[in-house]
Amino acid sequence: MYIVNILIADDHPLFAEGLKNLISAEGFNIVGIVEDGKKAYKMAVIKKPDVILMDIKMPSLNGIEATRKIKSELKDTKIIILTSFEEEDSLLKAIKAGASGYLLKSLDGEELIDSLKEIKRGKNPFSPGLEDLVLNEIRDSDVQSQSVEQESRIELTQRQLEIAKLVSRGLKYKEIAEELFLSERTIKYHMKQIKESLSLNSQAQVISYVKKYYG
């Protein structure tokens, strides 16, 4: 059986010792117990554990910063955040820092062991409901990005957009004038207005803008 090597980082000695006894009994190997983020980093670099069970609120260096520092050097080490606080903000910060999972200390022993077994199967463990928070945050971020992009797009008049699209297709002013039954001078006037509206300096920039926002 493949033994998972685990480092425990928690500043509550009784909890850490109880955790060690619980998971050792299930065949997992505990490579060390540390009580702050700086020691977690130093021990991780030396022992290179498969998994780190990391508390968030620790002295010297908190669990999120320790996670970020460790993951910058040990890409393959999975860090699972263990916390008493079901806080969305902490969850998201931990995931962004590189954590592979997020478990509440209110889990019973059997649930914790099942979560560690999930890691062995290549899955990322989350306490019930927490994974949904991450997915919702990702969706919200996508919506916000789309919203910002839409807000940055300046709407052109129908005529301006018509001319800009023809320019982006490579047509010359004279050709556009003939297609739209307008004078070449009128086309030039509209192009000047388009550049001013978009705060652009060249026809190439207009073409790039049209392709980006209007396909």
Residue with tokens 């018509």: 162
Residues 117 and 77 grouped into a single domain: yes
Kind and range of the H or E element at 52?
Answer: strand 51-55
Residue 133 lies in a domain: no
Can you list the alpha helix ranges (DSSP code H) found in the chain? 13-24, 37-47, 63-71, 88-97, 109-120, 130-152, 158-168, 173-180, 184-198, 203-214
CATH number of residue 162's parent domain: 1.10.10.10
What is the value of pTM for the model shown? Answer: 0.60
Residues 16 and 68 grouped into a single domain: yes
Q: Which domain holds residue 43?
A: 5-128
CB 69 within 8 A of CB 97: no
Residue 147 lies in a domain: no
Residues 16 and 94 grouped into a single domain: yes
- In the chain, what are the helix, strand and coil shares in percent, each to the nearest 5? 55, 15, 30
List per-residue pLDDT tens for the chain, 215 residues long. Answer: 456 899 999 999 999 999 999 999 999 999 999 999 999 999 999 999 999 999 998 988 999 999 999 999 999 999 999 887 655 567 778 888 898 888 888 888 888 888 888 877 777 777 655 555 555 555 544 444 454 444 456 778 888 989 999 998 889 999 999 999 888 889 998 988 898 888 888 888 888 888 888 76
Residues 88 and 15 grouped into a single domain: yes
Residue with tokens 């991450």: 134
Residue 153 lies in a domain: no
Count of structural domains, the chain: 2
Residues 172 and 124 grouped into a single domain: no
What pLDDT score was predicted for residue 19? 94
Residues 87 and 20 grouped into a single domain: yes
Residue 143 lies in a domain: no
Residues 117 and 16 grouped into a single domain: yes
Kind and range of the H or E element at 66?
Answer: helix 63-71
